[in-house]
Amino acid sequence: MEAPHFLTEKKVAMTANYGFSATLTAKPAMGDQLVELLLTGLNEGNPGASEHCVVYLVSRSASSPDIVHVTEGWTSEEDHHRIFAGEAAQAIVAQIGRLLAKESEYTDYVPVRGKAAF
């Protein structure tokens, strides 16, 4: 008897070659809404669901619930820019501004090695 294809199918690991982290400060008491909006980025058709997005992590500050951190890892900088130029990403970005108390802080990076399993 032959094993089902999902047991024998080899998964192809995607590597993050470009990434960034962002720190977003929500208006007072708006941290929950900001987190919920950012998590919609994982919905089908949105940037975090793209095969090119290999890390999409939304975190909160332990000391201030209105400070939210986003870490993203992409197969390439070009893939990131292409996906974020799309309608789905721009719709999310357009909604983020009304929740923020100040300009977001970004740090870009080149991932070296690590692990993200959820």
Give the CATH number of the domain where residue 100 resides.
3.30.70.100
Q: How far apart are CA 109 and CA 49, in angstroms?
A: 21
Evaluate whether 71 touches 19 at the Cβ level (below 8 Å).
Answer: yes
Report the share of the chain in percent with pLDDT over 70.
87
Mean pLDDT of 87-112: 94
Indicate the number of domains in the chain. Answer: 1
Structural domain contains residue 115: no
Structural domain contains residue 47: yes
Evaluate whether 65 touches 103 at the Cβ level (below 8 Å).
Answer: no
Whole-model pTM: value is 0.84
pLDDT band at residue 15 using 50, 70 and 90 as cut-offs: confident
Evaluate whether 24 touches 97 at the Cβ level (below 8 Å).
Answer: no
Q: Which of 67, 69, 85 is nearest to 77 (CA)?
A: 85
> Over the stretch 24-57, which tens digit does the pLDDT of each residue have?
999 999 999 999 999 999 999 999 999 999 999 9
Question: Dihedrals φ, ψ of 21, to 5°?
Answer: -125, 150
Structural domain contains residue 105: yes
Is 50 or 111 the better-scoring residue by pLDDT? Answer: 50
Domain of 47 in residue numbering reads as 16-109
